[in-house]
Amino acid sequence: MQARTRSAPAGLAEVVRFVDEEIAPHANAFEKAEWIPRDVLSRVAELGLWAPFLPSEFGGADMDMVTLGRVHEEIGRGCSSLRSLLTVHSMVSASVHRWGDDAQQEKWLRALAGGEKLGAFCLTEPDHSGSDSTAAGTTAVRGEDGWVLNGRKKWITGGQIANVLMVFATTDTGMSTFLVEADRPGVRVVPLPHVMGTTASMLAEIEFTDVRLEPSALLGPPGWAAGTVMTNALNLGRYSVACGSLGIIRAALEACAAYTSVRTAAGVPLRDLPHVRQMMSGMVTARDAARLLCQRAGALSDEGDPATIMATWVAKYHASKSAAQAASDAVQIHGANGFGPDHRVARLYRDSKVMEVIEGSTQIQELTIAAEAYREVAQ
């Protein structure tokens, strides 16, 4: 994708205008088309939003994580599918910056920062649970002049349009990570249409058949990915999903406040009904709590505090569950209108359920967060 880049990312006020004018009004159309138009992706690049956290020497803007979270919150308020593309692209960009050698950084980072190349995170296997991160089905075998990659990845966000695939594969020394150009011989991209939520995120299944890779495709040492590249990438992805879930809560709240201000039931304004006010109060509280949790996770990341890992788990757990509840309540408040195919809250309902599954399901998070509580007691 060719795009005009800028030296600094958009300010938050400009991001809000972008979402209000160019994203939110068209999000339902994106969902119907199961595609986000190229001109919208180019606008993201023009606004400097693909990977603004990268250093300026690579075309980024050194954006801190708290501000990045606010950006992803706003994009999530308008369209979760677009926010999902930002999420996986950020995971790839951050991984290349942290773990890539000089040649890999020089090759990829400026193109990733400017949106000239888009990245996809390829971990999930078609025959394994998404929470099974062993990458057992995809293998990379050492050859005389590099590696030979075989396997399949499924549910790959942005897989239909990505230029560089960050692929996790089993090697003779354990899980390893490879940067694979999507147009390499042996790479086959199969679109996954008609998914329930984040329908415009251009999901794909990607097959690798005897894909030959140079030694330079390896990101980090071989067998090194599980506790390093994968962990750090998923933490960033989880943070983005948490902030995007906060955006869904806000969108649900805004839609309900507008709707109940003009609708009546038996001559009584909906906004005055006790059960409506109860649900609205829950959304407000969930929004404010999610914002504080996301800000804390981002601030700890900016400080380089390892506590950011658990803080991000907690933020994502709360925000995703609250987004699902807020969207459900929004449909309830809108009644039959909430089921209409063209209504925003119906899309929010579909998208919100995705948030409880991706980047660590609610049930996996409950195991992880509870384990931390027991560790704290044991100390």
**Alpha-carbon distance 122 to 104, whole Å?**
18
**Alpha-carbon distance 347 to 40, whole Å?**
19
Assigned token pair, 279: 């649900």
* Conformation bin of residue 115: beta by default, left when phi > 0, alpha when psi is -120 to 50: left
Task: State the Rg of the chain over Cα.
Answer: 21
Of 73, 207, 356, 359, catalytic: 359
Give yes or no: 106 in active site.
Answer: no
| DSSP code, position 218 | B
Smallest Cα–Cα separation from 150: which of 175, 187, 101, 183?
Answer: 187
Contact 370, 378 (CB under 8 A): no
Q: How far apart are the first and last CA of the chain?
A: 52
Alpha helices in 79-228 (DSSP H): 80-99, 102-113
Catalytic residue numbers, as ranges: 359
